[in-house]
Structure 1
Amino acid sequence: MRGADHHPSRRRFLDATGAMVAIGLTAGCESHADRPDGPGAAAPATPSPRPVAPAGRHQAGVTVPQPAQRNLLAVVADLGPGVAAGPLLAELGRTVLTLAAGTDARLMGLPPGDLTVTVGVGPRLVRTAGPSLPGAADLPRFSRERIPPQARGGDLLIQVCATDALLPPVAANALLDQAGDRLRERWRQSGHRGADVPVDKGRSAPRNLLGFVDGIVGPHTAEAQERHLWLAGPAPVAGGTLAVLRRMELDLPRFAALTVAEQEAVFGRRRATGNPLSGGAIASDPQLGAKTADGRYLIPADAHVRRANANAVGAGLMLRRSYSIDEPAPGLLFISFQNDIRTFTDTLTRMDSSDALLPYTTTTAGAAFLILPGFGEAKPLGSTLFR
């Protein structure tokens, strides 16, 4: 876990090796290295990811891009004493625009690619803007939590995502540099998404460290997102959403000791395909009432897909952009977006009573944030809530 200092606990450097292509100096002479398909030919360049517009009705990094970028860095921080939220957020928004445009010198010459920055404010700040606004309530405590005070809650979330693994820490550093001593970092977490598995109609989802496809169910159409994801009002928060972050350690050795059938019973899905145990394809709705000939549920009573099922909970859908992590311990950074915090709290309350997956998890950090509405040059970040 990161403390208030800004020095990473572990740094990774990517080493690049270049290949010299031999050039024939005598006209008419050709070596294997001269040929495009020869052994000395340079590897084809990786296509640059498509840029993501940072301005608009919604902030980038929630529903766009699709699929989500491979790499994420989430930084949770507090505002210093007496710091006004409005001017700070406006500065951060302007920095986001220059980072996305590639004009910020603090990018160190890196092309921005599909870089996205998503900014949210915690309950304490939301209450200063309006105590009844969505996002003003602190998260309740749940079972299987081992969260130190430094890793619970926070005033500000900066979520940075990119296909290029170098960009999130570099962009986050630029934003923290812009904030200076007005921000005090609480904790940060980097994460990576596994290989994408096709789900439905051009949509995909990654595998997690337990080997299962993660994030299959959610509000994936524009209509469903308007209903379950985006805040329609009040006016100051319209176009925003609510985010929950939970960093969870996974007991990989104990889960790996289960047979594949036992692992599938924990999730309620096939490990190889993601298909529900009740049958159908990966995108099929789990049939919770389906039984075997001798009367047993095809999806066990405590399977994760049953306990977290929105219809069974009586709650809305949450959009998940979860990332696997390897420090401070192997696990998962769970991020859910929803327009009603009860979507998350009611779901986890039901899971708390009986969910076969929870005994393999321990939550070590958690917070909730109001993801601010979209912004642009004429509408500074946070200007609908803070002066």
Structure 2
Amino acid sequence: MAADELARDDRTAGRATTGAPASEAAIPFHSARQAGVTAPQQPETYLLSFDLPRTSAANGQKALRSVLGALTRTLATAASDAPPDPRLQGGGATRLTSLVGIGPALAARLGLNVPSSLQELPPFPGDRLDPRRSDGDLLVQLCAADRWTLTVVAELVGGAAHTAGAVPRWTQSGFLPHTPPGTTPRNLFGSKDGTANPDHAAAEQWVWGPPGGHGDGTVLVYRRIRMDVAGFAALSESRRDRAIGRRARDGVALSGTAEHDEPDIYAKNPDGSYVIPATAHVRLASPRFDGGARMLRRSYSYDDGPADRGLLFCAFMRDSAQFTRVQNRLAGRDALTPFLQHRASAVAYVLPGAASAGTLGEQLWT
């Protein structure tokens, strides 16, 4: 499939399903939109955050151009049908997908052309954020079918960025369970995660930037959420389902009959109580409270030891204010709150893709 054909097909964000397409050819790096958002979600991820030295705006822009050029070359080469690194050879195409984003602080510091919706998140009740694992001037997300590919490519990306002048800030790996193609992956609570993702039309309205220079970009909100897996598992099945608002065994909303039925947050029982409880996660996160606005969620689990396991919440949206509204509701009333701790956070403008002879970030200077 040609790169321009892939770009058109990939404009359907769709539900959060896993599994590579039938073809095992490389996933093209060059496209109107970055493949780290448009391609099907892959089972392994690795995130890298970098800072640029604080200097004058002119020198900062020069350094950023250098870093983005180095990242473009490195990622395009690693994703090709014949990557030159011998560690990536012999096993077929890497199936690597990636995205590169710009943090709000860097955009403001260098006067970059980014959407006005790119804003830092406010503090939320209950946040326990580690600044050493949060934020950053640049964010790179790598995704692939296996950890080996990510380990090698992360080394190449880190080396290229450092040589071009970027300073490593933090890294984080994540994974999904084995999930048949076309089905929704589960998180460490055992719940299906990503059921209510937007279809093509909704994604064009709520995920991708407004028509014009930012139409092929989006905003990524990242949250590293520690989960009390044992504590949640100790609840009865009924209490777990009511806390989430969906049945764990099949992902069906308590008000519905099939997984992808739209949750009816206003449905009531004969006694007048809500079928989906007022404190249920699904209810509080419902797009009905936000004029229908939806996020594209591509979350992963992480395991950094017995006392530090949880969710890497990765969501794409046109305006980060949408996440702020949802998180304020969740922080105040969500029945899952006793089992969750938000420990790291970042926001980034995911750049439009690069043309075959182009470089990521060319729109930043216009």
Q: Calculate the TM-score normalised by the size of structure 2.
A: 0.86
Alignment of 1:171-320 (within 5 A): 171-181=153-163, 182-196=165-179, 203-219=182-198, 221-233=199-211, 235=213, 237-314=214-291, 316-320=293-297
Separation in 1 of the partners of 2:171 and 2:324? Answer: 23
Separation in 2 of the partners of 1:381 and 1:131? Answer: 13
Alignment of 1:90-239 (within 5 A): 90-106=69-85, 108-110=87-89, 111-127=92-108, 128-130=110-112, 133-134=115-116, 136-181=118-163, 182-196=165-179, 203-219=182-198, 221-233=199-211, 235=213, 237-239=214-216
| Conserved? CA contact 1:107–1:170, under 8 Å | no
Percent identity reads 36
Query: In the alignment, does 2:32 pair up with 1:57?
Result: yes
Q: Helix, strand or coil for the counterpart of 2:364?
A: coil
Residue 330 of structure 2 is matched in structure 1 by: 351
Letter in 2 for 1:150: R
Query: In the alignment, does 2:344 pair up with 1:365?
Result: yes
Query: In the alignment, does 2:53 pair up with 1:80?
Result: yes
When structure 1 is superposed on structure 2, of 326-335 and 268-277 the one drifting more is 326-335
Separation in 1 of the partners of 2:233 and 2:295? Answer: 28
Segments of structure 1 that go 5 or more residues without pairing to the other structure are 1-46
User: Compared with structure 1, are the counterparts of its residues 293 and 107 closer, same or farther at alpha carbon in structure 2 (3 Å cutoff)?
Assistant: farther
| Conserved? CA contact 2:96–2:143, under 8 Å | yes
User: Compared with structure 1, are the counterparts of its residues 48 and 130 closer, same or farther at alpha carbon in structure 2 (3 Å cutoff)?
Assistant: closer
Residue 10 of structure 1 is matched in structure 2 by: none
Separation in 2 of the partners of 1:195 and 1:264? Answer: 23
Q: Helix, strand or coil for the counterpart of 2:323?
A: helix
Segments of structure 2 that go 5 or more residues without pairing to the other structure are 1-21
Q: Helix, strand or coil for the counterpart of 2:356?
A: coil
Alpha-carbon distance, 1:232 to partner: 2.4
Q: Helix, strand or coil for the counterpart of 2:362?
A: coil
When structure 1 is superposed on structure 2, of 166-175 and 130-139 the one drifting more is 130-139
Letter in 1 for 2:355: G
User: Compared with structure 1, are the counterparts of its residues 261 and 370 closer, same or farther at alpha carbon in structure 2 (3 Å cutoff)?
Assistant: same
Letter in 2 for 1:351: L
Separation in 1 of the partners of 2:293 and 2:337? Answer: 21
User: Compared with structure 1, are the counterparts of its residues 78 and 312 closer, same or farther at alpha carbon in structure 2 (3 Å cutoff)?
Assistant: same
Residue 298 of structure 2 is matched in structure 1 by: 321
| Conserved? CA contact 1:121–1:155, under 8 Å | yes
| Conserved? CA contact 2:207–2:296, under 8 Å | yes
Letter in 2 for 1:77: F
User: Compared with structure 1, are the counterparts of its residues 72 and 316 closer, same or farther at alpha carbon in structure 2 (3 Å cutoff)?
Assistant: same
Q: Which has the larger radius of gyration?
A: 1
Deviations 1:49-98 (A, max 9, x none): 4421111110001121x2x1100001111113445211210221121111
Residue 13 of structure 2 is matched in structure 1 by: none
Of Structure 1 and Structure 2, which has the larger fraction of its residues in helix?
Answer: 2
Deviations 1:309-365 (A, max 9, x none): 011244610000000111151101000000111111111111122111122111111
| Conserved? CA contact 1:248–1:365, under 8 Å | yes
Q: Calculate the TM-score normalised by the size of structure 1.
A: 0.81
Separation in 1 of the partners of 2:217 and 2:86? Answer: 27
Letter in 2 for 1:232: P
Letter in 2 for 1:274: G
Q: Helix, strand or coil for the counterpart of 1:278?
A: coil
Separation in 2 of the partners of 1:180 and 1:112? Answer: 26
Residue 336 of structure 1 is matched in structure 2 by: 315
